[in-house]
């Protein structure tokens, strides 16, 4: 993609970022809100806190990301035993891409509860589930650092790319432990080695982009390589870790996975500038190098490595 097209997308994203939207706020613990219910309007002040943003382009990017890793994810769910009738928690559900897939798998006799702190993402999740005719999904607004899920007796939890963004992964894991039944299974897809994000041939500005992304998450109180801490945190609260699988791909432009960093760079470079972490010069360097790898049929990309962690509550 040429730089002009990239710049046009950034301008569009900025315009969208200023647009007022109708938002829904459902406090965790309040009466359950089913996906087909109509929503009162209330502004959520937390939208701007989240380091990656919650605008329309980010919703679309999370969908792309879900499609790229979907086969790995569903294979993991099947091996972990998720099936008809199970009650599954989607922790930090975002715009609900995995939530909807989980709801289809567990079927009408099962249930999925999605917890998410962004009202904007929740609204997108509700629309998605309603479009797919799902009536076994409950979506609740809640900050996992501020509320306890309680003893729900659930069969499984799914947590993907959330632990990197919370101030206390310990609290996150404790929350999940309390919500599951004995024998319940906790599943995570979380980064362990974000530094493997690399284009070949190596490009200095794209390398610095990877470093800046990690720093921005840390500045917001998170830890990109959080998966390294999860096995210990899980065993501390009574889980037995049964499986840890590294997930990393090295791909050329012909692979669909190539679209993952492409979307991320285009959207996140603008977000970094919004956060005051990117100068126009640096942004131009990153986008120029990105245009170079796009124009190089011999270029390759290695994804930031994440761990698939499966643990059973004893």
Ligand X SMILES: C[S@@+](CC[C@H](N)C(=O)[O-])C[C@H]1O[C@@H](n2cnc3c(N)ncnc32)[C@H](O)[C@@H]1O
Choose one: 89-97, 149-157, 199-207, 291-299; the region binding ligand X (CB under 6 A).
89-97
User: What's CA 189's distance to the chain center, in Å?
Assistant: 9
Sequential DSSP letters for 98-139: HHHHHHHHH-TTSEEEEEES-HHHHHHHHHHHHHTT--SEEE
**143 binds ligand X, rule: CB under 6 A:** yes
Which of 61, 117, 203, 271 is in the footprint of ligand X by CB under 6 A?
A: 117
**94 binds ligand X, rule: CB under 6 A:** yes
Which residue is nearest to ligand X, using beta carbons? Answer: 94
**50 binds ligand X, rule: CB under 6 A:** yes
**173 binds ligand X, rule: CB under 6 A:** no
**161 binds ligand X, rule: CB under 6 A:** yes
Q: Output 122 or 293, the one with its CB closest to ligand X.
A: 122
Both structure tokens of 61: 């990017």
Measured between alpha carbons, how far is residue 64 from residues 30, 69, 100, 194 in Å? 32, 9, 15, 19
Which of 86, 121, 194, 199 is in the footprint of ligand X by CB under 6 A?
A: 121
Neighbours of 123 (CB within 10 A): 22
**156 binds ligand X, rule: CB under 6 A:** no
Neighbours of 301 (CB within 10 A): 21
Q: Which residues contact 287 (CB under 8 A, 6 or more apart)?
A: 3, 6, 7, 265, 269
From residue 54 to residue 83, what is the string marking binding to ligand X with x (rule CB under 6 A)?
--------x---x-----------------
Which residues are paired to 198 by β-bridges?
A: 302
Which of 1, 8, 27, 145 is in the footprint of ligand X by CB under 6 A?
A: 145
Whether 147 and 60 have beta carbons less than 8 Å apart is answered as no
Angle at 65 between CA 56 and CA 100, to 5 degrees: 80
The Cα–Cα gap between 151 and 176 comes to 9
Which of 13, 140, 160, 203 is in the footprint of ligand X by CB under 6 A?
A: 160
Q: Output 210 or 293, the one with its CB closest to ligand X.
A: 210
Number of residues that bind ligand X (CB under 6 A): 21
Shortest Cβ 279–ligand X spacing (Å): 25
**26 binds ligand X, rule: CB under 6 A:** no
**116 binds ligand X, rule: CB under 6 A:** yes
Which of 24, 35, 100, 144 is in the footprint of ligand X by CB under 6 A?
A: 144
Q: Output 49 or 207, the one with its CB closest to ligand X.
A: 49
Burial of 294 (0-12, 13-18, 19+ CB in 10 A): middle
Tokens 């894991």 map to which residue?
173
**239 binds ligand X, rule: CB under 6 A:** no
Which of 13, 61, 118, 206 is in the footprint of ligand X by CB under 6 A?
A: 118
**Residues that bind ligand X in the complex, under the rule CB under 6 A:** 50, 52, 62, 66, 92-94, 97-98, 116-118, 121, 143-145, 160-162, 165-166
């Amino acid at each position: 993609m040429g730089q002009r097209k990239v710049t046009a997308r950034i301008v569009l994203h900025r315009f969208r970022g200023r647009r007022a939207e109708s938002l829904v706020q459902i406090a965790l613990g309040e009466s359950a809100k089913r996906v087909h219910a109509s929503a009162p309007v209330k502004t959520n002040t937390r939208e701007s806190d989240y380091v990656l943003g919650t605008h329309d382009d980010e919703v679309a990017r999370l969908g792309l990301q879900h499609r790229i890793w979907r086969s790995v994810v569903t294979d993991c769910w099947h091996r972990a035993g998720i099936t008809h009738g199970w009650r599954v928690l989607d922790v930090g559900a975002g715009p609900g891409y995995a939530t909807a897939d989980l709801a289809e798998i567990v079927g009408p006799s099962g249930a999925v509860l999605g917890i998410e702190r962004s009202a904007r993402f929740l609204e997108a999740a509700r629309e998605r589930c309603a479009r797919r005719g799902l009536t076994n999904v409950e979506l609740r607004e809640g900050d996992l650092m501020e509320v306890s899920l309680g003893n729900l007796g659930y069969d499984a939890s799914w947590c993907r790319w959330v632990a990197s963004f919370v101030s206390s992964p310990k609290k996150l894991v404790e929350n999940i432990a309390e919500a599951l039944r004995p024998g319940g299974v906790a599943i995570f897809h979380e980064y362990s080695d974000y530094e493997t994000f690399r284009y070949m041939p190596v490009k200095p500005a794209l390398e610095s982009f990877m470093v800046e992304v990690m720093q921005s998450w840390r500045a917001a109180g998170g830890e990109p390589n959080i998966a390294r801490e999860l096995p210990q945190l899980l065993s501390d609260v009574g889980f037995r870790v049964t499986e840890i699988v590294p997930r990393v791909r090295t791909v050329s432009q012909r692979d669909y996975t190539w679209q993952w960093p492409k979307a991320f760079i285009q959207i996140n470079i603008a977000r970094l500038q919004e956060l005051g972490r990117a100068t126009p010069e640096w942004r131009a360097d990153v986008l120029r190098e990105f245009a170079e790898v796009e124009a190089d049929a011999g270029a390759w990309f290695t994804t930031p490595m994440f761990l698939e962690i499966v643990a059973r509550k004893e």
